[in-house]
Structure 1
């Protein structure tokens, strides 16, 4: 037994010293059908996953890229692709608000493009963190694997770009959240990008070569995040992590991350009216989109809102509309973005906890902080949709109860130690999502990350699925790192 173990370690060592520059699918243990997950799995930190952009976005090879760079890639991917990338280029033209009628030119051999109108359906999911179910969070591993299979993506070697088809905030936030979702599931940051600007505008500016027609082509192959041996789940900040930090570690919560040794800094990435509590926020959960469907049918208001408005304790405001041009929806210059962050009072070096109204909207500010300015940043996906829902309300007869009914609930957030500028919303606009008493005193909000870690560490045998013949299925993590 000892001899076999030493032999295994020797094989790994030989691979490590000689694998520089090799594609990830040539990783020796994978080719030998050895399951080395316990030995090779690497857990990344927010700092390791951060990307510091060049001050000139044209020089970026991943993260935030320009139309000039994308055009160069598409013109000759084999010769112009970034160092260390060995697979295909896969581009998604996000069409949340209709189509521009222009499509990037791709060869259908090494470059592929997909117009996609339902990206949120494919890359978000309603999930329960153990406290409160929230919609539009990062999806489960099965959904991500299905996404790779549908569009022929091998995460071990391919390069993925998310781009607005036409310029709109919905398309932009869909792009940043899709980027976040793939990065969360282990996709290397060196092979992920968001296009700065829309396909339509860059076509008009003669930056991209596009056509008015589209022909579907698929690479007919796919891989699985399980074969990457990477754990990026630290990007997600749970409500338990957040409250534990705000209370300086004085909680009885289970499975919460320790407070960073460098300290933390909370950024509210919502418009100023939301930050100051002077506008209503959407209620948590898609079933609360219309308050006529509330359990108590006497309430006919058509807008459901959270229990109270305000902001998380000690949060500073980074207004999202300051970060991009309101017409082209291109991000502003690197120096401007850095100035906006500095204006929040951010002390350099601290880990940033950022949130928006929801995960998708919050991802835009997260992307700038983490993947452009290079700051160690975690996204509280639940956002104000969850945090603002966990307020106490003692309803009168026939009124709608709030999520929290027990004043001493561990998850009650409308108290001065956890939130500021608290303003209760009208009872008629708050939906019936009262939590069971057991949930109000549960000690763990880490259900999502636990599920995802289990999925990642599951058996990798057969994980690389092929939806067609011919092309390699990838597989294999990169023992050389990256």
Structure 2
């Protein structure tokens, strides 16, 4: 069997279930694998006394949804709640909110009803933001973790401050709602990226919400609340942005950087140094490394077609010990609304039950097998969720952290990063990593994987194959919040040159 098509399967069921069923304590509050800045520090706002920074654990960041989503006033809200706010914001706004209602649309609705109609004179503002993965994205940028540069990572502090400034957002007073004009899987993922971004940088849960479903769907909102009126659609003309913000993430006392699980954090789990429930939000075939694998008459994998590796990766597969349930199972798609399923159904999945023909799977001896009732998430565990670029994983993350109230961390580098780190030659005959790099993931001790064919492997930007740690982003962001010089940043777009990924990662 040719090396480029060989399917590695070294799963040991006993070891897997020993890891899976062990109830895990939440990962360390610093949570970045060592070398991190765990000092508290202070933040201040003009006219206020300095406030000590609170470094939160994953458990402290979660919020529990009401069983009836209509009863939520932050987190996952319904169209009925948003309409009630729009009707009379000054009198109907949630307790503790003293500012405006700022609606940030991820995409637009049909012509004539593109936007949720603002009422500027009553403090209700609507904007349509640039939410793609390009260089002007308001949600993501390319950044280096110290080992490699990866696309579609959380914004750095300066970029987040620019977002707040240009949109005139005061996260200490305003209610910020991310919304879809038109429901869709990718748009829902983008809303999740917005929630993750704002929570990561310290915006309180009580000031942040995502709309459950696309606004242009009658099951979500009364269509009379939609029109072609908007405060600013920067996709058309960024010149209409207010550019009046004065609050910085340096003024927000919550340090929620634990939300991001680094490459090093995932390796700590895979290598057995810590424990977590690792949730792969992709398809079962991507998870099992058998996308488009041809089979002979006996059902044996024989030849990999080499055409479906996302982003020109060196391999496909998953970190050892991860389990799989596709994000699609958490959404209502039949009516085009792309709302989340009810809380009871989502909990049933986490309990290992089969719902609507789907359930958590684990990999064993070349097959994906149901984990079974009681053998999925265990009480006390921290969830680390990922997909290709942690877009699909935003659905699983919102379901877990915002609906069920479970401690969640996002492996932001995801499989585009994990599947980069191999000692294999790319299409230019350059080895991506040296054979002795400690960051290799193409080992049977760390991954179940299939190598890509060399001609299909895109070059990668490796910054330091022998870096001591892979938490440069976390350290930089902690430093920025504390007013120190960041140790590392990023760049809008750019970074690793990868083909477009219309599926959202």
Q: Which band: TM-score by shorter chain? A: 0.7 to 0.9
Contact 1:402 1:431 in 2 (8 A): no
Counterpart contact for 2:109–2:115, Cα < 8 Å:
no
State the Cα distance separating 1:365 from its structure 2 match.
1.4
User: Are 2:429 and 1:400 aligned?
Assistant: yes
| Equivalence map 1:18-167=2 (5 Å) | 30=45, 34=49, 36=50, 40-95=52-107, 101-109=113-121, 110-118=123-131, 120=133, 121-167=137-183
Structure 1 counterpart of 2:196, from 180, 184, 203: 180
* SS of structure 1 residue aligned to 2:120: coil
Q: Does 1:453 align with 2:465?
A: no
Deviation, structure 1 residue 393: 1.6
Question: In the alignment, which residue of structure 2 is the partner of 1:294?
Answer: none
Q: 2:441 aligns with which of 413, 421, 433?
A: 413
Distance 1:431 1:29, change over 3 A: closer
CA contact 2:111–2:228 (8 Å) conserved in 1: no
Q: Shift in Å at residue 137 of structure 1? A: 0.6
- Contact 2:200/2:256 (CA < 8 Å) preserved in 1? yes
1:302 deviation in Å? 11
Contact 1:354 / 1:366 at 8 angstroms: preserved in 2?
A: yes
Name 2:8's counterpart in structure 1: none
Q: Larger strand proportion, structure 1 or 2?
A: 2
Q: 1:131 to 1:302 in 2, by over 3 A?
A: closer
TM superposition shift of 1:428: 0.8
CA distance, structure 1, for counterparts of residue 266 and residue 307 of structure 2: 35
Work out whether residues 199 and 208 of structure 1, in 8 Å CA contact, stay in contact via their aligned partners in 2.
Answer: no
2:297 alignment counterpart: none
Distance 1:99 1:244, change over 3 A: farther
Q: How does 1:75-474 map to 2 (within 5 A)?
A: 75-95=87-107, 101-109=113-121, 110-118=123-131, 120=133, 121-202=137-218, 206=222, 209-216=225-232, 220-249=244-273, 259=274, 263-279=275-291, 304-326=311-333, 327-343=336-352, 344=360, 345-393=376-424, 400-406=429-435, 408-420=436-448, 422-433=449-460, 435=462, 439-458=464-483
Residues in 2 aligned to 1:304 and 1:361: alpha-carbon distance in whole angstroms: 15
From the superposition, tell whether residues 33 and 347 of structure 1 become closer, same or farther in structure 2 (CA, over 3 Å): closer
Q: Distance in 1 between matches of 2:227 and 2:461?
A: 52
Over residues 170-196 of structure 1, what are the superposed CA-to-partner deviations in whole Å (9 max), with x where a residue is unaligned? Answer: 211111101100110001111111101
Match of 2:302?
Answer: none
Q: Could you tell me how far 1:115 is from its partner in structure 2?
A: 2.2
> Relative to total residues, which structure has the larger helix share, 1 or 2?
1
Instruction: Please tell me whether the aligned partners of residues 45 and 247 of structure 2 are also in contact (alpha carbons under 8 angstroms).
Output: no
Residues 314-361 of structure 1: CA deviation (Å, up to 9, x unaligned): 111121110112222111111111112222311122111111111223
How far 1:240 moved relative to its partner?
A: 0.7
Q: TM-score, normalised by structure 2?
A: 0.73
Q: Report how far residue 432 of structure 1 moved.
A: 2.1
| Contact 1:90/1:160 (8 A) holds in 2 | yes
SS of 2:445 mapped into structure 1: coil
Paired residue total: 394
1:214 CA displacement: 3.5
Q: Distance in 1 between matches of 2:481 and 2:211?
A: 28
- Cα pair distance change 1:304/1:233, threshold 3 Å: closer
Residues 193-241 of structure 1: CA deviation (Å, up to 9, x unaligned): 1101111114886266222334548664441111112201010001011
Instruction: Indicate if the aligned counterparts of 1:103 and 1:212 stay in contact, CA closer than 8 A.
Output: yes
Distance 2:256 2:442 in 1: 31
| TM-score in terms of structure 1 length | 0.76
Query: Does structure 2 retain, via aligned residues, the 8 Å contact 1:67–1:208?
Result: no
* Partner Cα distance (2:221, 2:469) in 1: 51
Report how far residue 440 of structure 1 moved.
1.9
Q: SS in structure 2 opposite 1:400?
A: coil
Residue deviations 1:123-142, cap 9 Å, x none? 21100000110111101111
Return closer, same or farther for 1:364/1:300 CA change in 2, 3 Å cut-off: closer
CA contact (8 A) 2:99 2:173 kept: yes
Contact 2:80-2:221 within 8 A present in 1 as well: no
